[in-house]
Copies of this chain bind each other. A is one copy, B any other.
């Protein structure tokens, strides 16, 4: 992997605030911190396109007494549109489970499946977190 070195002009005051923040966060150096800002910006841009390829983490908080849910979740994960990568099940408390499903697909497909999973009876909260890898 080729690495280049670029020069950035920046106001002293702004730089001082940035240095303070990235030190607090634990960055080893400015380059690492600036690269992360750039990657995050590029990722946001990609995720704006409904057809863009993404990896999704779907979080579902649900009542584990809703017995039919696990079967429905399984069915959906076997549907053709999506590529389920993994699924983690966590007992949060006496009533609530958390299911974290990692999937690949286009932004619009992933939003659709997240909406669908959230709508299932027994699911109390559904959240979609979209990422890009490239």
Contact = CB atoms under 8 A, between A and B. Distances in A.
A42 B28 CA distance: 18
Interface SS of A by simple majority: mixed
Contact of A21 (B5, B25, B42, B100): B42
B10 A34 contact: yes
A93 B133 contact: yes
A64 to B, nearest CB: 12
Number of identical protomers: 4
A67 interface: no
Nearest to A6: B8
A118 B31 contact: no
B119 A25 contact: yes
A104 to B, nearest CB: 8
The 9 closest A-B pairs by CB, nearest first: A2-B12, A37-B37, A26-B119, A25-B119, A9-B31, A27-B119, A25-B115, A129-B129, A26-B116
